[in-house]
Homo-oligomer: A and B are copies of this chain.
Amino acid sequence: MARNPLTREEVMETAASLVQQQGPRALTMRKLAAELGTAVTSIYWHIGNREQLLDALVERTIQEMGAIRPTGRTPHARIVSVGRALRTALRERPQLIAMVHERGLTERMFLPAQQALVHEAHAAGLRGELAAEAVRAVQFQVVGFVLVERNRERSPAQHPSEGELWDSPTAGHDPALARALAGPVDAEQLFLVSLEALVTSLLAVAAGDT
């Protein structure tokens, strides 16, 4: 029970921990009020409605992430490092992904990496629209991958549907392929392979190589 006057900060704090522990669906105004020891309606006075609360939480989490610092020598390595760091940062905050998911705020997840990517794209010799395209390609790639990855993890069931391919005409001739597709995904490796591929192509354009 909080006797001292309720604070916007206090509400945010409690809401954040609630989301962190049980996901955004569990963040109900009434539960939150109970946790805070106040009436439900007090929250409305300080924060507004549930949507605004979620928005504020998303913003807060993004702030906490801070900037992303590239590592490595070559432009290629540095851009890839930004992608990896962004994925790591997002995966460390599954609640963020879930909240962004629930509302339509994916582009918020782009922000932490954007400055760094712009800088690196420029350093790699990309200019103007081409640089913008490269920045966005990496952002879409990374965020998209993380969305798929998380969504996959959320799914409780095994993925037996992929087993269908075991006896598909093509896979039947290639047992190793069938086995690999039936098995679990090595997300880490898949992420790296895809990102490397993308960056390679983007930089090939910069080098004048078509």
Contacts and interface: CB of A to CB of B under 8 A. Distances in A.
Interface in A151-194: 151-156, 159, 161-162, 164-165, 168-171, 173-174, 176-177, 180-181, 185, 189-190, 193-194
A155 B155 CA distance: 24
B177 A104 contact: no
B198 A129 contact: no
B118 A177 contact: yes
Contacts of A30: none
A104 B152 contact: yes
B168 A111 contact: no
Nearest to A111: B161
From A128, A140, A149, A173, name the one whose CB has the most chain B CB atoms within 10 angstroms: A140
Nearest to A142: B144
